[in-house]
A and B are shown apart, each in its own frame.
Chain A
Amino acid sequence: MFLVDLKQKRVVPDNEIKAKIARRRPYRHWLRDNRIVLRGMFAPASSPAAKPGELVRLQHTFGYTNEELKMILAPMAARGQEPVGSMGNDAALAVFSDRPQLLFSYFKQLFAQVTNPPIDPLREELVMSLESFVGREKNVLDETPGHYGGLKLYHPILTIEDLRRVRASAHPGLKAVDIDILFPADGDGRDLEEALERVFREAEERIAEGYTILILTDRHVDEDHVPIPSLLAASGLHHHLIRRGLRNDAAIVLETGEAREVMHFALLIGYGTDAVCPYVAFKTVHDLAVTGMLGVDKSPEEAMDDYITAIKKGLLKTMSRMGISTIHSFFGSQIFEAIGIDKDVVDRYFTATASRIQGIGLDEIARESCMRHRKGFPKDGKPSKLLDPGGAYHERRGGEKHLWTTEAIYKLQQAVRTNDYALFKEYTRLIDDQSEQHVTLRSLLKFKKREPVPLEEVEPVDSIVKRFVSAAMSFGSISRETHETIAIAMNRLGAKSNSGEGGEDPARYVLLPNGDSKRSAIKQIASGRFGVTTEYAINADELQIKIAQGAKPGEGGQLPGHKVTAEIARVRHTTPGVTLISPPPHHDIYSIEDLAQLIYDLKTVNPRARVSVKLVSEVGVGTIASGVAKANADMVLISGHDGGTGASPLSSIKHTGLPWELGLAETQQSLIQNRLRDRIRVQVDGQLKTGRDVAIAALLGAEEFGFGTAVLVTLGCVLMRKCHLNSCPVGVATQDPRLRARFAGKPEYVERFMRFVAQELREYMAELGFRTVDEMVGRTDVLEPDRLEGHWKASKVDLSAILELPANGNGKPALHATRRHERRADTPLEAELMQLAEPALKHRKPVEISLPIRNVDRTVGARLSGEIVRLHGAKGLPDDTIRVNFTGSAGQSFGAFLAPGVTLKVSGDANDYLGKSMSGGRIIVVPPEGATFQPHDNVIVGNVVLYGATGGEVYINGIAGERFAVRNSGASAVVEGVGDHGCEYMTGGVVVVIGPTGNNFAAGMSGGIAYVYDPTELFDTRCNLDMVDLETVWDPEDEAQLRRMLERHYAYTRSARAKMILDNWQAHLPLFVKVMPIDYRKSLERMRMEEDRDRETVAATEEVYNA
């Protein structure tokens, strides 16, 4: 806290003000005297053995499937973390499923995008917490020792043993009582409602009697009693008590057989449950361990512990996806959207949750529970020994319906191989006809009858395909062959392919002899910034900022070291064999104005490219899209939740994000209402497969369309969902050279697919009377909902909100983009800089320039650097060809994308993002002439310096803010102190810090080296030691490198601190700590050995890879 006290007329330091407040009362004593914890929470979880036959009955009753046991629970218990999967989710929404679904599956998680950053719960663990207090809360306006009186929980999962202790509590402040959450067998909605009322009434009575912990339990389920869905009971009670002003009087603890997946626990806590004891899940885990179904040898106790660990990790991930760091504030935060639930039910039991397509009511909810209950307690005797097969994750006979069936895949592949449009139509019929079982929202929309136009008057295929793009897939997640084949095909069509994150080999910028091009027109800018160099940026027709990905929005990624081959490392500007981590947020986008700044940066370095922003569908995406439009993006991409992935946690694939129909329609409505639709284009992707899909997308407001999974299928993908295992049998999604040799895809296949889709779209257009796609965009009036009278659940869905056409008070609103973004005029400073640098740009003649600079001068140097690389290639100009001396305060992104040959010096200070994506050159920052303060005590540059830099040097005579050199992969830097999270996610380069560091230094640092001057010898307390070792500087090579850098630092900045160290080198050298990533050292050693053996690096990485 920074505080000015106008009465005392001084600045009060943070530690003074906080110490004073913290000692106002004897809080420490109050805590010591009143703290209540569950003793035994750290003892191994006791393992409840189930009675024979009882477990399977319970499993049926709570809807366990065989698939869940195998794919979810067993991996959690075996490895202590959530299982990982790949490809997108193409199963039906819960409300369309004929089979009884848990109420949990009608909710989707929300996640942070643009307006707030998700957190990395692993690398920034120190800010996360699962602690909470359970019990009666007192008047917040007062403070007494008794205010701290609840039960302190270290995490919200209670074992059966823990719950027993809670029940037995003799503490006067902790009185627990059971309330059954059951309703009569075969009951309907009315019975369910009455049962809920009874629960609420009982809760009120118990609170009045002084109980402070209400244990909702479905343990007494039997033949005549069905468990109320635990989420409905808990959230309903939570809201009921809020309305009655009683919520803080007692805690809600849930003992339920229903909860088992991370999503279930997240929902329960997010809707106001204080703690959960999942007794059937525990029994199941016990059973799996005893019967040897875990795949590893483990005692039931260990399995239980690991299962709980997996849930805890999953909860942290769920919270951090939304940017929430403590479970205390996640509690009751309702970071979810309901999809397919009736509004009355939501308003009453899940108050203030978004539910936009209506759906099931209490009747259907009761019916689903009763169906499950009857499987557990059949009227005629014993339950089946076999559980339901499931099929939510993989297509299974007799399981959930998926769109990509074996037949559909086969037909599509045959159609594109043999260029058979008739066969393609058979494929689309399989996909589009969902009359038997609906899977997608769009299957519920139908076209109105309209006056048709002749097919030949409709915009030709060649023109339509230009609106098509292939979805972003990184080279790394799919094989080189696949990546290049797609690029060639899209370039032939005049459409666009997407590089995905992870850079692109510059060799692909050169045309092939036959005129083909492997260059991806769209270059993605993702949070890892791998391979994002000046050269990469200027070789794009479109720069796409990937905010989120449909399969795992709000999460980062990790490419394990063994997958980082020499080729991938080269393209990404990293070291082979070193793990690459993409952080969950873009560290230069924590907020909407930051996004505007990144867009400004990209348009500065490459003024020719359009800039797009990729978002994922969720409630509120429309308002974010409006913010994106105001940030001057040219296009916004709305991705569906069902987009593919190379590797994501299964729960993310399944439970985050929404269908694109909702996101797209919301975006369209929001842009129109805000009068912004005419200035931004809208693109959509997410399991688009047919001409009908594209027609509906256009009518809902999209003017461009992306295809991902379908493209892979044309190239041979058979949806084995093994991308994350590197064992793709058709060579599409693997880096294994043996498997890659099996790749049999051809550009023609992709081309044919795109043309077929365009052709089919034309047929719909003719039928609907549209001659051009532009005419068609946003015409929701041509669509109408197709009511499904037959289906007991789907018939309740109401899509009218999707079809609403908003007014904007401005006559007939524009439905599609009509304005082209004009290229931003150079700022006066840019113009002057370009003019003065002309001799260097044109004739490589050295120039020296002096100019004033202000904070409103942003991204200075990028315009110049873009030009240098365009004219002279990635190598730029010889060192120091252009020297610019600025005086004043440099604005954000100073020296972003800096090219070799440019030296920028500021006398003054600089703001955030200095040297972002720096590719070469030199930046020097020194205090202003005449300043009398001590540089090494004062902050001179802002946060997030050198984000994603791949080269160049930086010398800063002063302290930098937070996240210095985050994701640096090649720049070297000297600085006099850094804030928290220094060198986070660094993969290469060298950083020297000759002053204080903040907390969490080197978190996620997998490569590069840091030298830290540490006279306190306490650096290890501020360093995150998960991935790095600390050493002294003993190696003469290291010493020489360090000394050389300090000498240059002194030469460029006249740093007093550097001089002091250099003047007495032998005394100060031992005070330096070398921060060495463990991975990196191994890779370097391996490479050195290979060099000694005089072999190529490629061979070394083969070895790494095969290991």
Chain B
Amino acid sequence: MAVDRLPYQNSAGFVKAHGLYDPRYEHDSCGVGFVARLDGIPRHSVVVDAIQVLENLEHRGAVGGDKSTGDGCGVLVQIPDAFFRSVELDFVLPDPGQYGVGMIFLPSDKKLAHRCQALLENLVEAEGGEVLGWREVPTRSGILGELARSTEPRVAQLFVGPGEWSLEAFERKLYVVRKLAEREVRTWAEDTSQFYVASFSSRTVNYKGMLTARQLPTYFQDLKDPLFESPFALLHERYSTNTLPTWSLAQPFRFVAHNGEINTLRGNINRMRAREATLASELFGEDIEKIKPILDESGSDSAIFDNALELLVMAGRSLPHAMMMMVPEAYGPKVSMSADKRAFYEYHAALMEPWDGPATLAFTDGRYVGATLDRNGLRPARYTITKDGCVVLASETGVLDIAPENILGACGQGACFSWI
């Protein structure tokens, strides 16, 4: 099947509104989860297990107009330091934690890709960081479906040293660079829609794409390397209502993997926009202007949620705190709850409205790995903890083979632990 791009479609596969079609009304949903080792020791088996979980959730995802193009899947893991030390790099890798990795989708047009790369390098340096170098991520395009290939980006990793930045500010500075780059390329005349930063962090790195679970480890050869280790892996399998191959909308995003739907998105977007004017933070100082607009409105509801969460976390709230703020429990008079917690929710209600809708949200910032549900528990989540310190959480149970005698406990929402 020959696939041409549509007249109203850009190189990343996004379609503009035309006729009665408007991309704002697209939806997606999925299977979601994570695998983690409580001891925090990176292991390759965690990555293997996560991919196994994805395969066992495949029926929750979907394939589109051609049989081999998935709606997208991916894993968000800790930076696999041992692996990066084992591959050939044309620069010296600093100690673990002393460097950041950008997982960058570049335009397939070579010239444009170079421009994007140069832009990122310039921005890193202008902001005071140190560009260490690039690594081309080996990928196997041959296994992609026609649709996925029609918008496939070039995938490269940018390594950045802290330069003048303090380690405490590292994540925040990388965030600023990313936001500046996103804003800049949007002003270019060329079609830069393929440019996308899947992750840019000194803690985590994101491998995702328009792939099926089975394709993921073949497409990204890195994932098969025994030295590719992580103590956790956030995972996501997507089912979208369209067949448009948009790589950037595959999940996880930089902090969350989301199964569900934000019903109140338009209101949330408007209010975040209204808030931009009053944003101020000691941590950001003057940089605060560089990160606006906070939300990338071309993203899906999940992507926009991730944008807002990221802001709260970067400005100093802990990840669980930010999640409680954006997805609060119901605290009405009929709910029995501690007085302090009720006060917490009411206080924060005056700061931010809930991002309301059915959801299972798995999240991580490299230290915490967790999941939360919407106030009505409308999406499923089950988890199992093993005696040898492994935690598996997913939309379904039984996604990983665990010997019965190794099970410490198993739970789901509404019971055992109070969920949300």
Known: A2-B393, A626-B241, A670-B21. Contact between A126 and B410, CB under 8 A?
no
Which one, B82-90, B158-166, B190-198, B332-340, is touching chain A?
A: B332-340
Most buried by A among B271, B375, B383, B403: B271
Which one, A299-307, A708-716, A938-946, A966-974, is touching chain B?
A: A938-946
Chain B residue contacts of A170, Cβ below 8 A: none
Assess whether A591 is in contact with B261, with CB atoms less than 8 Å apart.
yes
Assess whether A669 is in contact with B396, with CB atoms less than 8 Å apart.
no
**With an 8 A cutoff between CB atoms, is A932 at the interface?**
yes
B369 interface neighbour in A6, A242, A804, A930, Cβ under 8 Å? A6
**With an 8 A cutoff between CB atoms, is A54 at the interface?**
no
What's the nearest-Cβ distance from chain A to residue B55, in Å? 9
**With an 8 A cutoff between CB atoms, is A18 at the interface?**
yes
The CA of A46 and the CA of B359, in the complex, are separated in Å by 43
Residues 4-29 of A, flagged 1 when their CB comes within 8 A of B and 0 if not, give 11110111011101110111100110
What's the nearest-Cβ distance from chain A to residue B298, in Å? 13
The CA of A933 and the CA of B372, in the complex, are separated in Å by 24
**With an 8 A cutoff between CB atoms, is A999 at the interface?**
yes
**With an 8 A cutoff between CB atoms, is A706 at the interface?**
no
Assess whether A354 is in contact with B22, with CB atoms less than 8 Å apart.
yes
Known: A139-B279, A332-B267, A996-B415. Contact between A27 and B391, CB under 8 A?
no
Residues 193-215 of A, flagged 1 when their CB comes within 8 A of B and 0 if not, give 00000000000000000000000
Assess whether A1 is in contact with B375, with CB atoms less than 8 Å apart.
no
**With an 8 A cutoff between CB atoms, is B399 at the interface?**
yes
**With an 8 A cutoff between CB atoms, is A885 at the interface?**
no
What's the nearest-Cβ distance from chain B to residue A385, in Å? 43
Tally chain A residues at the interface, Cβ within 8 Å: 145
Assess whether B368 is in contact with A959, with CB atoms less than 8 Å apart.
no
**With an 8 A cutoff between CB atoms, is B226 at the interface?**
no
Assess whether B4 is in contact with A810, with CB atoms less than 8 Å apart.
yes
The CA of A116 and the CA of B347, in the complex, are separated in Å by 28
**With an 8 A cutoff between CB atoms, is B118 at the interface?**
no
Chain A residue contacts of B61, Cβ below 8 A: 593
The CA of A931 and the CA of B61, in the complex, are separated in Å by 31
Assess whether B278 is in contact with A140, with CB atoms less than 8 Å apart.
yes
**With an 8 A cutoff between CB atoms, is B367 at the interface?**
yes
Cβ-closest chain B residue relative to A940: B410
What's the nearest-Cβ distance from chain A to residue B408, in Å? 7
What's the nearest-Cβ distance from chain B to residue A242, in Å? 5
Chain A residue contacts of B243, Cβ below 8 A: 626, 630, 674-676
**With an 8 A cutoff between CB atoms, is A53 at the interface?**
no
Known: A22-B343, A927-B404, A929-B404. Contact between A961 and B56, CB under 8 A?
no
A interface, by DSSP: helix, strand, loop or mixed?
loop
Which one, A58-66, A454-462, A853-861, is touching chain B?
A: A853-861
Cβ-closest chain A residue relative to B267: A333
The CA of A112 and the CA of B350, in the complex, are separated in Å by 27
B371 interface neighbour in A1, A811, A928, Cβ under 8 Å? A1
Assess whether A11 is in contact with B267, with CB atoms less than 8 Å apart.
no
Assess whether A961 is in contact with B417, with CB atoms less than 8 Å apart.
no
Assess whether B20 is in contact with A674, with CB atoms less than 8 Å apart.
no
**With an 8 A cutoff between CB atoms, is A980 at the interface?**
yes
User: Within residues 854 to 875 of chain A, which ones have a CB less than 8 A from any CB in chain B?
Assistant: 854-856, 858
Assess whether A933 is in contact with B407, with CB atoms less than 8 Å apart.
yes
Chain B residue contacts of A4, Cβ below 8 A: 36, 38, 232, 368-370, 391
Assess whether A128 is in contact with B276, with CB atoms less than 8 Å apart.
no
User: Within residues 372 to 405 of chain B, which ones have a CB less than 8 A from any CB in chain A?
Assistant: 372, 375-383, 385, 391, 393, 396-399, 403-405
Chain A residue contacts of B242, Cβ below 8 A: 623, 626-627, 670, 673-674
Chain A residue contacts of B356, Cβ below 8 A: 323-326, 329
**With an 8 A cutoff between CB atoms, is B126 at the interface?**
no
A623 interface neighbour in B25, B351, B352, B391, Cβ under 8 Å? B25
A328 interface neighbour in B56, B349, B375, B419, Cβ under 8 Å? B349
**With an 8 A cutoff between CB atoms, is B244 at the interface?**
yes
A352 interface neighbour in B266, B347, B398, Cβ under 8 Å? B266
Interface residues on B, range: 35 or more
Known: A141-B315, A810-B2, A891-B396. Contact between A1 and B62, CB under 8 A?
no
The CA of A375 and the CA of B24, in the complex, are separated in Å by 42
The CA of A626 and the CA of B5, in the complex, are separated in Å by 19
Assess whether B376 is in contact with A124, with CB atoms less than 8 Å apart.
yes
**With an 8 A cutoff between CB atoms, is A421 at the interface?**
no
Assess whether A978 is in contact with B415, with CB atoms less than 8 Å apart.
yes
Assess whether B347 is in contact with A1, with CB atoms less than 8 Å apart.
no
**With an 8 A cutoff between CB atoms, is A1070 at the interface?**
no
Known: A116-B357, A328-B354, A356-B20. Contact between A139 and B278, CB under 8 A?
yes
**With an 8 A cutoff between CB atoms, is B324 at the interface?**
yes
Chain A residue contacts of B369, Cβ below 8 A: 3-4, 6
What's the nearest-Cβ distance from chain B to residue A467, in Å? 24
Chain B residue contacts of A27, Cβ below 8 A: 340, 343-344, 346-347
Assess whether A855 is in contact with B410, with CB atoms less than 8 Å apart.
no
**With an 8 A cutoff between CB atoms, is B26 at the interface?**
yes
- What total of A-B pairs shows CB separation below 8 Å? 433
The CA of A236 and the CA of B63, in the complex, are separated in Å by 42
Known: A19-B340, A801-B19. Contact between A137 and B411, CB under 8 A?
no
B21 interface neighbour in A245, A352, A597, A806, Cβ under 8 Å? A806
The CA of A27 and the CA of B350, in the complex, are separated in Å by 12
Assess whether A890 is in contact with B398, with CB atoms less than 8 Å apart.
yes
Which one, B27-35, B99-107, B172-180, B247-255, is touching chain A?
A: B27-35
Chain B residue contacts of A332, Cβ below 8 A: 266-267, 270-271
Assess whether A139 is in contact with B280, with CB atoms less than 8 Å apart.
yes
Chain A residue contacts of B383, Cβ below 8 A: 2
Assess whether B29 is in contact with A115, with CB atoms less than 8 Å apart.
yes
The CA of A325 and the CA of B353, in the complex, are separated in Å by 11
**With an 8 A cutoff between CB atoms, is A704 at the interface?**
no
User: Within residues 9 to 68 of chain B, which ones have a CB less than 8 A from any CB in chain A?
Assistant: 9, 15, 18-22, 24-31, 36, 38-40, 56, 58-65
Known: A115-B27, A245-B276, A626-B241. Contact between A961 and B414, CB under 8 A?
yes
Assess whether B241 is in contact with A623, with CB atoms less than 8 Å apart.
yes
The CA of A131 and the CA of B330, in the complex, are separated in Å by 12
Assess whether B260 is in contact with A116, with CB atoms less than 8 Å apart.
yes
A938 interface neighbour in B261, B263, B370, B409, Cβ under 8 Å? B409
Chain B residue contacts of A977, Cβ below 8 A: 415
Which one, A176-184, A574-582, A721-729, A904-912, is touching chain B?
A: A904-912
**With an 8 A cutoff between CB atoms, is B355 at the interface?**
yes
Assess whether B274 is in contact with A676, with CB atoms less than 8 Å apart.
no
What's the nearest-Cβ distance from chain B to residue A980, in Å? 5
Mark A residues whose CB is within 8 Å of B.
Answer: 1-7, 9-11, 13-15, 17-19, 21-24, 27-28, 30-31, 112, 114-117, 119, 124-129, 131, 133, 137-143, 147-150, 241-242, 245-248, 272, 322-326, 328-335, 352, 354, 356, 590-593, 596-597, 619-620, 622-624, 626-627, 630-631, 662, 665-666, 669-670, 673-676, 801-802, 804, 806-811, 854-856, 858, 888-892, 908-912, 927-933, 937-940, 942-943, 959-962, 977-981, 996, 998-999, 1021
A-B contact pairs, 22 of them (CB 8 A): A2-B383, A7-B367, A11-B385, A18-B320, A28-B340, A116-B357, A137-B275, A142-B280, A334-B270, A592-B27, A619-B25, A674-B65, A806-B19, A809-B9, A810-B2, A854-B398, A855-B397, A911-B397, A912-B396, A928-B407, A930-B403, A978-B415
Closest 6 CB pairs of A and B: A979-B414, A889-B398, A245-B277, A620-B25, A333-B267, A627-B241
Apart from A248-B278, A331-B353, A943-B377: 19 A-B pairs, beta carbons within 8 A: A117-B378, A140-B278, A141-B311, A143-B351, A149-B350, A246-B274, A332-B271, A333-B263, A335-B263, A593-B30, A593-B62, A627-B242, A662-B20, A666-B21, A810-B2, A928-B404, A933-B408, A979-B377, A996-B415
Mark B residues whose CB is within 8 Å of A.
Answer: 1-7, 9, 15, 18-22, 24-31, 36, 38-40, 56, 58-65, 231-232, 239-244, 259-261, 263-268, 270-271, 273-281, 311-312, 315-316, 318, 320-321, 323-324, 330, 332, 334-336, 338-341, 343-344, 346-347, 349-358, 366-372, 375-383, 385, 391, 393, 396-399, 403-405, 407-420
